[in-house]
């Protein structure tokens, strides 16, 4: 099946319209008519070559919401017409200890990313959601609960789960002080989710430009990291710091904000190393950790949690021909707070 898409032809080149081939619907597959695709900063890192060479042309997009158009003969979990979502992975081995534990993102054979990786057939390259249709194994298709507005739900499939998973793992909740570094796509979801979990939430942004928004989204406090007093005022205070920044930051300065036993979890994925001084950790039995998206069952749990708490992303819906402009704005930290492509504009 030949479908319309938007692709990066090579590293750093603007995205342009194209067509791509989608596989036949197999027994375990679901054909999804895509309605919306969020723009994650990971899409930009990938097509700009920040993370190394890529199998161009690359169709990015791993925050996908649409409706089921066809299901394979063995599929019992999804029906034609259902509203569904697909996130950052479309397959895994399903047999290793990590897959069996529901951590498919840490599959020992490597999870199959939604775009720019070799699929499990060993030959085709996966292509993402900036497209009108996608065929995905039913086990990696999520139910989008009724009541979640589809465009605003799309970013939950990456920004939502990537922040929900560490917040849950490190037990954000009543009595816990959580700081969120960077108020972009991931950051604004972290604020909403941590607030809904009952934690006391502080935003650490480069400036106070978005303070009003941050407080409206659920933060209790808001500080500018450009102000050196911030690091003195907040020293030794947080149980958990979630770093969502897409660029290199001075991790040691942020480790100094942790209370004894506190954890700084990095979800931001800058291409440069983030050097850590031993003394930033040993003085307060502090941890420096990382986390990558979340498993499939946990992603469903997150979607249900968001439906229950009325949480969606703050989105700016754009047409496909505005993608390159949106990339520039994300790179300039000028996103409030997620661009989402209306894929009907690709038709």
Q: Which of 114, 246, 280, 313 forms a contact with ligand NAP (CB under 6 A)?
A: 246
The residue within the footprint of ligand NAP, chosen from 253, 276, 292, 317 (CB under 6 A), is 292
Among 98, 132, 244, 263, binds ligand NAP (CB under 6 A): 244
Rounded least distance, CB 82 to ligand NAP, Å = 25
Restricting to residues 2-61, which ones interact with ligand NAP according to CB under 6 A? 40-42, 45
- The site map against ligand NAP for 101-130 (x = CB under 6 A) is ------------------------------
Among 16, 93, 269, 318, binds ligand NAP (CB under 6 A): 269
Contact status: 221 vs ligand NAP (CB under 6 A):
no
Does 192 help bind ligand NAP (rule: CB under 6 A)? no
Q: How many residues bind ligand NAP (CB under 6 A)?
A: 31
3-class DSSP string for the chain? CEEEEEEECCCCCCCEEEEEECCCCCCCEEEEEEEEEECCHHHHHHHCCCCCCCCCCECCCCCEEEEEEEECCCCCCCCCCCEEEECCEEECCCCCHHHHCCCHHHCCCCCEECCCCECCCCCCECCCCCECEEEEEHHHCEECCCCCCHHHHHHHHCHHHHHHHHHHHCCCCCCCEEEEECCCHHHHHHHHHHHHHCCEEEEEECCCCCHHHHHHHCCCEEEECCCCHHHHHCCCCEEEEEECCCCCCCHHHHHCCEEEEEEEEECCCCCCCCCCCHHHHHCCCCEEEECCCCCHHHHHHHHHHHHHHCCCCCEEEECHHHHHHHHHHHHCCCCCCEEEEEHHHHC
Report the residue number, 158 or 340, with the smaller CB distance to Zn ion: 158
In the complex, residue closest to ligand NAP by CB: 184
Least Å from the CB of residue 313 to ligand NAP = 11
Is residue 343 within the footprint of ligand NAP (CB under 6 A)?
no
From candidates 71, 75, 154, 183, binder to ligand NAP by CB under 6 A: 183
As a whole number of angstroms, the distance between CA 197 and CA 296 comes to: 20
- Using the rule CB under 6 A, give the single segment among 18-26, 128-136, 179-187, 277-285 that binds ligand NAP: 179-187
Under the binding rule (CB under 6 A), the answer on residue 87 touching ligand NAP is no
313 scored as a contact of ligand NAP (CB under 6 A): no
In the complex, which residues of this chain contact ligand NAP (CB under 6 A)?
40-42, 45, 158-159, 162, 182-187, 205-206, 210, 244-247, 249, 267-270, 291-293, 330, 333, 335
């Amino acid at each position: 099946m030949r479908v319309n898409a938007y692709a990066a032809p090579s590293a750093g080149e603007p995205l342009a319209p194209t067509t791509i081939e989608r596989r036949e619907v197999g027994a375990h597959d679901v054909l999804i008519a895509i309605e919306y695709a969020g723009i994650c900063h990971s899409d930009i890192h990938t097509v700009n070559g920040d993370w190394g060479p890529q199998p161009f042309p690359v169709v990015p997009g791993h925050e996908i919401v649409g409706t089921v158009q066809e299901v394979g003969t063995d599929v019992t979990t999804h029906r034609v017409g259902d509203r569904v979502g697909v996130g950052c992975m479309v397959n895994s081995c399903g047999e290793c200890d990590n897959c069996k534990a529901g951590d498919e993102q840490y599959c020992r054979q490597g999870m199959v990313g939604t775009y720019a990786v070799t699929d499990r057939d060993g030959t085709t390259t996966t292509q993402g959601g900036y497209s009108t249709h996608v065929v995905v194994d039913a086990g990696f298709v999520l139910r989008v609960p009724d009541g979640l507005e589809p465009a605003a739900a799309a970013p939950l499939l990456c920004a939502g789960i990537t922040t929900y998973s560490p917040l849950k793992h490190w037990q954000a909740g009543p009595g816990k002080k959580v700081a969120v570094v960077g108020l972009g796509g991931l950051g604004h979801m972290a604020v909403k989710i941590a607030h809904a979990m009952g934690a006391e939430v502080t935003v650490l942004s480069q400036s106070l430009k978005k303070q009003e928004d941050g407080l409206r989204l659920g933060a209790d406090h808001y500080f500018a990291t450009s102000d050196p007093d911030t690091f003195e005022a907040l020293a030794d205070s947080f149980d958990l710091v979630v770093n969502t920044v897409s660029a290199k930051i001075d991790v040691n300065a942020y480790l100094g904000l942790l209370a004894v036993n506190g954890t700084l979890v990095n979800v931001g994925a800058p291409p440069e190393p983030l050097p850590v001084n031993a003394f930033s950790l040993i003085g307060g039995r502090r941890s420096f950790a990382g986390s990558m998206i979340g498993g499939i069952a946990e992603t469903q749990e997150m979607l249900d949690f968001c439906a229950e708490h009325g949480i969606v992303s703050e989105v700016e819906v754009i047409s496909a021909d505005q993608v390159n402009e949106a990339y520039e704005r994300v790179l300039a930290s000028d996103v409030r707070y997620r661009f989402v492509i209306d894929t009907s504009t690709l038709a």
